[in-house]
Amino acid sequence: TSSSSSSSRCGPLIHTAYPRELTQNPLKKIWMPCRNGHIAQRRVCMTNCPTLIVTVGLPARGKTYIAKKLTRYLNWIGVPTKEFNVGQYRRECLKIYKSFEFFRPDNNEGLKIRRQCATSALNDVREYLRVEGGQVAVFDATNTTRERREDIMKFAEQNSFRVFFVESVCEDPDVIAQNIVQVKLGNPDYIHCNSEEAIEDFMKRIKCYESSYQPLEETLDRDLSYIKIMDVGRRYLVNRVVDHIQSRIVYYLMNIHITPRSIYLCRHGESDLNIKGRIGGDSALSARGKEFAKRLGKFIEEQDIKELKVWTSQMKRTIQTAEGIGVPYEQWKALNEIDAGVCEEMMYEEIQENYPLEFAMRDQDKYRYRYPKGESYEDLVQRLEPVIMELERQENVLVVCHQAVMRCLLAYFLDKTADELPYLNCPLHTVLKLTPVVFGVFLLSFCVFLLSSLMFSFSFYVFSVFFVCFLRYLVCFCCHFVSLAFPFSFWHFLSFSVFLKD
């Protein structure tokens, strides 16, 4: 659907064209005029101009962290966003990084290459925002001089992009040192160095920028739209927020933090309707579900988590599961399972029989498909946005929710696209532990299995368990080393199974 043009003064009524007949889009259940015309379905970002977000700051100030996180958030809420890291362009251009000398302010050769890389990145930005249908582009570079920022603004003006600066200012040497160790040492630039050499070189690199650093100022830059983040979020300066998307970006940036913590996601225990193979409803836990609740309580106790908060939905099965843990919990209506409308409490076979068209359309586009008188995954994402915002604010949280809801939350943390989201695997009786690490999320999957029937003999079972474990460890370690080589990949994946026996 095309976004509406800003309606100017209400001119003369177009009597011939209006009122138009309405039909309901069978997939999304949206009423639209019969002919393609002026219809604007509420998209999160009501901006007509594409937005160009520009990071500003010395190296090791968290610009790329912010850029990647913001891109992930905007994509999740439905605003097509892409990140353009100028350092990447420089690495592709240079191939081999020698030393900080490249960044010296008097190195004309270096300056020329860096300007070329920036221009190349801006060209790709234009391509993305104009041709490929992107709505927000994040231009991630130091952009520490006023001159460079003016070049970017000229570029944006030529292309009718709105510019929003995100400056990160930090003078705390501990934070900077930790930043360097966590992020830069794994950087492709420093693969061939040892830690000490790398740190020393990087500090000199920062020095090269410091002399020419011109921060965003109150008087000189009073007409620019920007947010200045100081001391890792202790203090913010916000200037001239002009539209909805900038307001949302500011709100998001003011809620994120870098305190180490873990988020635990799991579904409710097995419910009576699960056993019958029916979707939706508000049933109670089955016997195995109750057993899971107890095991979950033990697991949480063993983990010994500092100040854990427990959130559930307002449906009986999640609350019963949280009751099994034995700690205070908070009920969120927003965490309720997706509303299947007329298909509530039906089996998939029944849906196929009674609503074959709906069933077919759901398989066509599971993300956007809305159940008749129900919801879609797209609606679910919009409903879950306050939950994500509060999760960003909090520290250690356990969220007991439902399959579709867990998929949406997982897609946010693991940066999955709308096409992958509805097919993410979220089995019952499995707890996912998410720990933010470097530029992504470290996923630990704990499977709490119940030995409900002894199909195999004890020894064979034990052997198979350990063999599978060993295999998975092997795969994991390979993945780990592989991902070390590509530190900018979004997530590490380690699978760790815990088998608890009766």
240 binds a second copy (CB under 8 A): yes
123 binds a second copy (CB under 8 A): no
Q: Which stretch binds a second copy (CB under 8 A): 128-136, 229-237, 285-293, 395-403?
A: 229-237
CA–CA distance, 54 with 309 (Å, rounded to integer): 35
CB 429 within 8 A of CB 404: no
The dihedral over CA atoms of 334, 338, 344, 347, expressed in degrees to the nearest 10, equals -140
**Which residue from 450, 461, 452, 458 is spatially nearest to 427, judged by alpha carbons?**
450
Residue in 83, 167, 268, 385 annotated catalytic: 268
247 binds a second copy (CB under 8 A): yes
Is the CB of 139 or the CB of 252 nearer to a second copy? 252
395 binds a second copy (CB under 8 A): no
**Which residue from 502, 493, 491, 490 is spatially nearest to 68, judged by alpha carbons?**
490
22 binds a second copy (CB under 8 A): yes
DSSP, residue by residue, 141-179:
S---SHHHHHHHHHHHHHHT-EEEEEEEE---HHHHHHH
31 binds a second copy (CB under 8 A): yes
15 binds a second copy (CB under 8 A): yes
Contact pattern for a second copy over residues 32 through 61, marking x by CB under 8 A: -x----xxxxx---x---------------
Total residues contacting a second copy by CB under 8 A comes to 51
The correct pick among 185, 241, 284, 308 for binding a second copy (CB under 8 A) is 241
Q: Is 244 a catalytic residue?
A: no
CA–CA distance, 118 with 116 (Å, rounded to integer): 5
Strand partners, 431: 266, 446
Is the CB of 135 or the CB of 483 nearer to a second copy? 135
Contact pattern for a second copy over residues 173 through 212, marking x by CB under 8 A: ----------------------------------------
**Contacts (CB under 8 A) with a second copy, residues 283-342:** 333
Q: Which stretch binds a second copy (CB under 8 A): 4-12, 82-90, 427-435, 474-482?
A: 4-12
276 binds a second copy (CB under 8 A): no
234 binds a second copy (CB under 8 A): yes
25 binds a second copy (CB under 8 A): no
The correct pick among 107, 120, 187, 239 for binding a second copy (CB under 8 A) is 239
Q: Which residue in this structure is represented by tokens 């409308």?
A: 341
CB 400 within 8 A of CB 266: yes
Shortest Å, Cβ 173 to a second copy:
18
CA–CA distance, 215 with 176 (Å, rounded to integer): 18
Residue in 83, 167, 291, 337 annotated catalytic: 337
CA–CA distance, 146 with 220 (Å, rounded to integer): 10
CA–CA distance, 205 with 193 (Å, rounded to integer): 15
Q: Is 337 a catalytic residue?
A: yes
CA–CA distance, 174 with 177 (Å, rounded to integer): 5
**Contacts (CB under 8 A) with a second copy, residues 357-376:** 373
Q: Which residues fall in the annotated binding site for substrate?
A: 267-274, 317
Q: Which residues fall in the annotated binding site?
A: 267-274, 317
5 binds a second copy (CB under 8 A): yes
Under DSSP, is residue 384 helix (H, G, I), strand (E, B) or coil? Answer: helix
CA–CA distance, 387 with 278 (Å, rounded to integer): 27
Shortest Å, Cβ 293 to a second copy:
24
Q: Residues, the chain, total?
A: 502
Q: Which residue in this structure is represented by tokens 């899971």?
A: 292
Strands 329-331 and 397-401: unpaired
Shortest Å, Cβ 8 to a second copy:
6
H/E segment holding residue 437: strand 430-437
Amino acid making up residue 184:
K
**Which residue from 117, 125, 115 is spatially nearest to 67, judged by alpha carbons?**
125
9 binds a second copy (CB under 8 A): yes
- CA dihedral (240, 241, 242, 246) positive or negative: positive
Give whole-number Cα distances, 479 to 182, 472, 482, 485, in Å: 19, 10, 5, 10
Is the CB of 281 or the CB of 440 nearer to a second copy? 281
Shortest Å, Cβ 19 to a second copy:
4
Q: Active-site residues: which are they? A: 268, 337
Footprint of a second copy on this chain (CB under 8 A)?
A: 4-10, 12-15, 17-20, 22, 24, 29-31, 33, 38-42, 46, 218, 222, 234-241, 244, 247, 250-251, 254-255, 282, 333, 344, 373, 379, 382, 390, 393
